[in-house]
Amino acid sequence: MSWHSKKQPYVALSNTEAKYIDPGSCCAQSIWIKNQLEDFDIYLEHIPLRCDNNNAIDLTKNLVLHSKTKHIKIRHHFIKDHVAKRECKVEYIDTQNQLADLFTKPLASERFYTLRN
């Protein structure tokens, strides 16, 4: 899991766009770690990335540029290239099991303890 907090230098126009951009930066870090592991003769077939937004997952798999996504900057399509090369695989995870919520949302104590465990 990779996590850091910073003010984003761009404004997402939709929830799907925001959920599409974030796995891209995680993909870049994961590719770097994968390359470092290869120096130690540890090879990964693909890097699993988990996302709770089906529309964002569909954007990574669909190689066609739609009119609704034409405003997304080219640098954010980094993840789409690596999914096409089968270096990364974006998988769905339901919101109830999203571990990143521990770091990004205020949670009720019961939910916090469930995710922590």
What is the CA angle 53-54-55, rounded to 5?
A: 95
Per-residue pLDDT tens over the stretch 101-116: 788 888 888 888 888 8
Per-residue pLDDT tens over the stretch 62-103: 756 565 666 676 666 777 888 888 888 888 988 788 887 788
How many Cα atoms occupy the beta-carbon half-sphere of 4 within 13 Å? 6
pTM over 0.75: no
User: Is 17 exposed, middle or buried (CB count within 10 Å of its CB: 0-12, 13-18, 19+)?
Assistant: buried
- The domain locations on the chain are 15-116
